[in-house]
Amino acid sequence: MSARPARAGGMTAVPREVVARWRVWLCDLDGTLLDSFPAHEAAFRQAIAEVAPSRLAGFRYADHAGASTAAVAAGLTADQAAADRLARRKQELYREFVRAGRVRPFPGARLLLDRLAATGRTAYLVTGGSRASVRRALEAAGLGGAFRDVLTADDVPVSKPDPAFYRLACRRWRVDPAEAVALEDSPHGVAAALGAGLATLHVHAAEPAPGAIAAGDLHDVVSLLAEEENGSA
């Protein structure tokens, strides 16, 4: 989960032979493929107001970009029961916002996923969202059939930026990090992917996180694939 910046930087040049090696794409969802930051923030703020109102004034959703709802809730209150209530309420509200049409794919998301499929690449989803919320958001955005498999916060005992998130994805799907790339929007997500030994494209960021490849927006990533295809034709 991440805030969308007012302006994204441009795409860093990547050698065609490097792009050609990226046969597997491990994609984040919130803030990367889906413009869901406003809905997540609104859901968190309403849930905090209901469950832990004393924490609302100091809450900044952008500080938690990439972390799971459970991890954010646990950081807001030391009371485990209250944290569980907060997480559940936030997820309920977010799903209501999804049903109301408040979450949409970023421009270029469908085009990118179609291009990956057309060029024989495999796309997986690696997201800190809960499985139920992710399923609803994908269906609402029309991206439900775009991924070979999905790894969510419900499947992993840690949250991004822990590299174990992506390491588990690579083990589960028998992915060689040398032949894969991660697509992320948040510093937490980038840290998790880089820590797992993955090349990482950082989209929707004015400045890429250290170690990541500046990727501009999703149309820039599509152009990167097109350049590799044209160069190998």
In angstroms, the CA 71 to CA 91 distance is: 13
Looking at domain 16-36+104-232, its CATH class is alpha beta
pLDDT of residue 99 exceeding 60, the answer is: yes
Alpha-carbon distance 25 to 147, whole Å?
A: 10
Q: Is the pLDDT of residue 140 over 80?
A: yes
What percentage of the chain exceeds 70 in pLDDT? Answer: 95
The domain limits of the chain are 16-36+104-232, 37-99
User: How many angstroms from the chain centroid is the CA of residue 167?
Assistant: 16
> pLDDT over 90 for what percent of the chain?
86
Q: What's the average model confidence in pLDDT over 1-30?
A: 80
For residue range 160-206, what is the model confidence (pLDDT) as tens digits? 999 999 999 999 999 999 999 999 999 999 999 999 999 999 999 98
